[in-house]
Amino acid sequence: MNNGQIMKRVAVFASGRGTNLQALIEATKKGEIPAKIVLVITDREDAQALRRAAQNFIKAFYLSPEGLTREEYDTLLLRFLQDNQIDLIALAGFMRILSPVLIRAYPNKILNIHPSLLPAFPGLHAQRQALEYGVKVTGCTVHLVDEEVDHGPIVIQRTVPVYDTDTEETLSARILEQEHIAYPEALKLLAEDRLIVQGRRVFIRDAGTT
């Protein structure tokens, strides 16, 4: 099933509805990825991601950011991660910027997904930004997380067309479908130790052999 590879222990951070979390859960459950999601962390008490974790018997924590600096918050998170022997982190709609405390503890071990073809349209409302700019093609990006927002080396991008009739909602839905394909693919590559990072470029070891 996983060619005798060691199963990586994954934490997913999510703040909202958690459809990318769900896609990762389903992909890992199929046994095609040498990884197991063992922890879900959220900064929002009402995050639907918590329910998805519970439905799948995954340990989940809500950690309130109230009264904490970013570094204090991330130091607490890091303790949870270490207590749970987490190898890899996937950010899935996590609405906080990570501090160097976490990023330096997990160099090239943190993935993020963003709903545009980076470096175009970083930050919030990427789909709205794409529509307003008038691009004809957009998509999603899975990248490794570095100390700048929506910036680290790119692992996978998938494109979608923008139609004249699109609204922010229809475009977001089209991109989301591609996110749910791209994110499991990227996690698989990371979990298989197949990403070779040279500067900004990410090469895939043995591309085309699986």
Give dist(CA 44, CA 47) in Å, integer: 5
Q: Is 93 in the site for ligand GRF (CB under 6 A)?
A: yes
User: Is there a catalytic annotation at residue 151?
Assistant: no
Residue nearest to ligand GRF (CB): 93
Closest contact distance (angstroms) between CB of 35 and ligand GRF is 17
Please identify, among the stretches 26-34, 54-62, 64-72, 112-120, the one whose residues bind ligand GRF according to the rule CB under 6 A. Answer: 112-120
In this structure, which long-range contacts are made by residues 115-118, counting pairs with CB atoms below 8 Å and at least 24 apart in sequence?
115/140, 115/172, 115/175, 115/176, 115/179, 116/140, 116/141, 116/175, 117/141, 117/157, 117/159, 118/143, 118/150, 118/151, 118/154, 118/157
Q: Indicate which single residue of 8, 44, 109, 114 sits in contact with ligand GRF (rule: CB under 6 A).
A: 114
Q: Out of 114, 125, 143, 180, which one is annotated catalytic?
A: 114
CA 90 to mean position of chain CA atoms: 4
Query: Is 115 a residue that touches ligand GRF (CB under 6 A)?
Result: yes
Q: Is 152 in the site for ligand GRF (CB under 6 A)?
A: no
Residues noted as catalytic? 114
Residues at the contact surface with ligand GRF, assessed by CB under 6 A: 14, 16-20, 92-93, 113-115, 176, 179
